[in-house]
Structure 1
Amino acid sequence: MKNYILLLISISFSTITNSQTNFNGNWEGVMIRAGRVIENGIPFKLEIQSKDNKISGYSREEILKTNEYALKQVTGYLKENKIKIHQTVIEKKSKSSKTKWCRLTAELIYNKNTGYLEGKFESIDCKRFIGKIILYKCQNKLIKKHTEQINHNWFNEFVYGIKENLNAPEIRIKERKNFIFKPVFFDFDKYIIRPEFHNFLDEITKIVKGHSDLRIKVVGHTDSDGTEEYNIILSKKRSESIIEYFSTKGIARDRIEFDFKGEKMPIDTNSTNEGRQRNRRVDFFFI
């Protein structure tokens, strides 16, 4: 009985530990003041360590297209997927800065599905300074010293991802790794995409948009009905209909390659209706 009780305690503790989000490390994103758009937000970086559910570390705020910044000490606490942070001291700021830097308090929640840490902030010492913060976990280390040039290329990519409704980079990597291709099938002698495949094509679109180094290849096929010459043309039209769909969803044409094989590469028999249906398809590959 004692062993059974100890086992239950062990399992319960393990469940609690595993449910706790690991907030340690570096985060970056944006601080958006109420009434403003994300493009005009303030690049915001956070470096934190936790011990016994208490948080300590630094935050850094920057002004876009300038070298202005402020480095602030941060304390707080965490619980499961939530953290509450307080900026306690403005430790350092750019010497030429004319910006009034305000200390903040924020309560943020980690969304395991999107990979974003987000929530609301308000100022401790500046009136009507409120808004929201959106962050993602990153490899870039928070810089604690003055630099002559501040690179905000990462910020532009981040804003693009938010506006395109993309998940955080670490989630995108998992999505790409776990993605399973399937053919898009077509009706007999047709190259119109059936609505049932739109969601699948949208998933591909999201992954391609989420990786700037990724391209997609589409390959059209037919069954053996009709002449070989006709089927070459039909398979090309099927590939082109997929390209057109991707283009309307915002994938640049130079990120799409296509090929067409006619009836030369069946994946099933052409002797049955079911087999011919499986052969009337477009296949996909990441390149």
Structure 2
Amino acid sequence: MKFFLVFFFAFSTWFVSSQTNLSGLWQGVLMKDGAKELEYTVFFLQLDVQGNNVTGKTREEFYKTDFYTIQRVKGSAESNQLKLQQLTVEKKKVSSKLSVCSMDFQLAYIDSTGYLTGKYVSNTCRGNTGKIVLYRSKARFQEADTVTIGHYWRDRFLTDLKKGRKAPEIQELERKNFQFQPIYFDYDQAEIKPEYYAFLSKMARVVSGHSDLRIRITGHTDADGSDAYNDDLSAKRAKAIQDYFLKCGLESFKVVIDFKGEKLPVGSNQTPEGKQQNRRVDFEFI
């Protein structure tokens, strides 16, 4: 798929840095070459990495069914890269129309996105090749026949990939570590200065990366002018930021604007420096 090739085929150059602890549960999708999106299967990978040795299990679930296979895996790890092989089918529930295939995987953890991604080739089913993208999961590996984790997240995950969003744990870190700063305006103006574009674009990416995160934009002015005039000017400043976010692709429902005019100064309106501090827009996540 095009979105996968564009966003993830940095896999071909595999940029990895310091060794990351890859033990634990990962979940995502297997994208069989030539298959339609509805045919992509849900995939869980439980890893135990001890030095260069890797053991674990996989659970492949067929989308919107209760069919699955559990297989034992073994492989090696080096510099955030994994080579894995499915060895034994330990458990399965499949229909007569489904083939149970064992795969060899070549995976790499990408620090910048938080994804464990790569390729697979079946060692039992001829012509079965594809791509795999996984993210670190907070769930528990399931051995039961019943699918206890619904597949609702799969479609949202594929949407995240198409939009170039990072893995959930990286999104959460970016949100927690994001440092807000005011955007300042020239006297009696509501135009955004180009020096703030990079910061605003980064903020838009963080908000866009969370389905349940919104941002409040609050406009302010100095004390020059009437209350009514300053209320209108502060609204225009907030609206300018909103328009910029929308141009960045941020959905309108994720942006809330507010304006306070001259009512909430952070500096003295008796000095030029203080007035400049008051001609601003502030932000907060909601």
1:112 aligns with 2:111: yes
- Alpha-carbon displacement from aligned partner over 1:1-20 (angstroms, at most 9, x marks no partner): xxxxxxxxxxxxxxxxx943
Q: Are 1:129 and 2:128 counterparts?
A: yes
* Structure 1 partner of 2:209: 210
Hey, what does 2:102 align to over in structure 1? 103
Structure having the higher Rg: 1
Take 1:129 and 1:97, find their aligned partners in 2: how far apart are those partners? 18
For these two proteins, the number of residue pairs brought into alignment is 270
Task: Call closer, same or farther: CA 1:200–1:78 in 2, change over 3 Å.
Answer: same
CA 108–221 in structure 1, closer or farther in 2 if over 3 Å, else same = same
- Report the Cα distance in structure 2 between the residues aligned to 1:204 and 1:37, rounded to whole angstroms: 34
| Correspondence for 2:284 | 285
> What is the DSSP-based 3-state SS (H/G/I as helix, E as strand, rest coil) of the residue aligned with 1:98?
coil
Preserved contact between residue 231 and residue 263 of structure 1 (Cα < 8 Å):
yes
Task: Quote the residue 1:157 is aligned against.
Answer: 156
* Gap change, CA 1:254 and 1:55, over 3 Å in 2: same
Residue of structure 1 equivalent to 2:78: 79
The percentage of counterpart residues that share the same residue type is 43
- TM-score, normalization: structure 2? 0.85
More displaced 10-residue stretch of structure 1: 120-129 or 247-256 = 247-256
SS for the counterpart of 1:233 is helix
CA distance in 1, matches of 2:39, 2:233: 48
Please report how far the alpha carbon of residue 164 of structure 1 lies from its aligned counterpart in structure 2 after TM superposition. Answer: 2.1
What runs of 5+ residues in structure 2 fail to find an aligned partner? 1-16
Report Cα offsets for 1:66-109 as digits up to 9, x if no partner.
22222111111111211110011222222435211211111111
How far, CA to CA, are the matches of 2:54 and 2:284 in structure 1? 44
Q: Identify the residue that residue 7 of structure 2 maps to in structure 1.
A: none
Root-mean-square deviation over aligned CA pairs: 2.3
Deviates more, 1:141-150 or 1:229-238: 141-150
1:214 CA displacement: 2.4
Alpha-carbon offset, residue 166 of structure 1:
1.7
Moved more, 33-42 or 107-116: 33-42
Deviations 1:221-248 (A, max 9, x none): 1123322211110101111222233334
User: Is there any run of 5+ residues in structure 1 with no aligned partner, and where?
Assistant: 1-17
What is the TM-score with the length of structure 1 in the denominator?
0.85
